[in-house]
């Protein structure tokens, strides 16, 4: 389970001080999907960065399976992220001059998976997003939808328990977007994973098990299942 206890994120000091998130508390049950929704600038992406450990909280706690991310040393946190989490972004972030195979291999290299064990995992991931025929093709020659499918293959190749997706369909047409959504939800269903989607797409949010709505850095609405009882005691 993911548990977020009264987290606050502040940037800058004194006259330049900006509170991006304030007093945010919630929990995400295992093996579920949750949408973090809100308008641009509401704090959605900041929240994802804090929950995933890509950025550190100013105060409060982020607990994943009772492990406090803020108390992990850098190497420990890097190891935890590379083995337990993966990320998908709106802009794909694939390496254009490298092949599909090489792109999907990257997380396995970071996680120090032995070279002899990588091939089967890479081909399986590419096959799951219907890109096996493109295994040797350079990423720059793929369409936008294919690049996002490649990004998903790269994200799931090490079988993460938690998948973070930041506006994963934002740059895609509706038909391609629906295909990407199907791939993400299938992964959660088939692997018992947790999916956290940052989105302003209400249709996509409605497909998730739960939702958390952010405005001006605070939660203004959320599913009952994500509420923390007595959340005020953290304030």
DSSP symbols for 33-86: EEEEE--TTSSHHHHHHHHTTSS--SEEEEEETTEEGGGS-HHHHHHHHHHHEE
| Amino acid 14: pLDDT | 86
Tokens of 207: 């497909």
Provide the mean pLDDT of the chain: 90
Instruction: List, in order of start, the domains of the chain with CATH numbers.
Output: 30-56+70-234 (3.40.50.300)
Distance CA 83, CA 77 (A): 10
The predicted-structure confidence for 58-85, as pLDDT tens digits, reads as follows: 999 999 999 999 899 989 998 898 889 9
Average pLDDT on 88-110 reads 88
pLDDT at 121 exceeding the cut of 90: yes
| Amino acid 175: pLDDT | 85
Average pLDDT on 78-93 reads 86
The predicted-structure confidence for 27-41, as pLDDT tens digits, reads as follows: 999 999 999 999 988
pLDDT at 193 exceeding the cut of 80: yes
Distance CA 4, CA 67 (A): 11
Q: Among 47-56, 59-68, 163-172, where is mean pLDDT lowest?
A: 163-172
Alpha helices in the chain (DSSP H): 44-51, 74-84, 100-110, 115-128, 144-156, 174-191, 202-206
| Amino acid 235: pLDDT | 42
- Helices 100-110 and 115-128: crossing angle in degrees, nearest 10, is 130
Instruction: Considering only residues 23 and 89, tell me which one the structure prediction assigns the higher pLDDT.
Output: 23
| Amino acid 234: pLDDT | 43
pLDDT at 233 exceeding the cut of 50: no
């Amino acid at each position: 389970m993911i548990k977020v206890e009264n987290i606050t994120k502040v940037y800058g000091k004194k006259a330049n001080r900006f509170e991006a998130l304030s007093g945010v508390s919630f929990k995400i049950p295992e093996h579920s999907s949750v949408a973090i929704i809100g308008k641009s600038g509401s704090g959605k992406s900041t929240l994802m960065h804090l929950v995933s450990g890509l950025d550190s909280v100013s105060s409060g706690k982020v607990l994943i399976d009772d492990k406090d991310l803020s108390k992990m040393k850098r190497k420990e946190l890097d190891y935890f992220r590379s083995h337990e989490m993966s990320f998908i972004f709106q802009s794909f972030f694939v390496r254009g001059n490298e092949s599909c195979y090489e792109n999907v291999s990257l997380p396995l290299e970071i996680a120090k998976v032995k070279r002899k064990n990588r091939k089967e995992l890479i081909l399986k991931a590419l096959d799951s997003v219907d890109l096996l025929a493109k295994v040797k093709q350079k990423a720059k020659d793929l369409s936008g939808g294919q690049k996002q499918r490649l990004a998903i293959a790269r994200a799931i190749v090490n079988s993460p328990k938690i998948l973070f997706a930041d506006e994963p369909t934002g740059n895609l047409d509706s038909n391609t977007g629906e295909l990407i959504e199907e791939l993400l939800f299938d992964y959660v269903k088939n692997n018992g994973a947790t999916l956290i989607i940052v989105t302003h797409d209400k249709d996509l949010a409605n497909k998730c098990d739960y939702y958390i709505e952010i405005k001006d850095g605070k939660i203004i609405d959320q599913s009952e299942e994500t509420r923390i009882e007595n959340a005020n005691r953290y304030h």
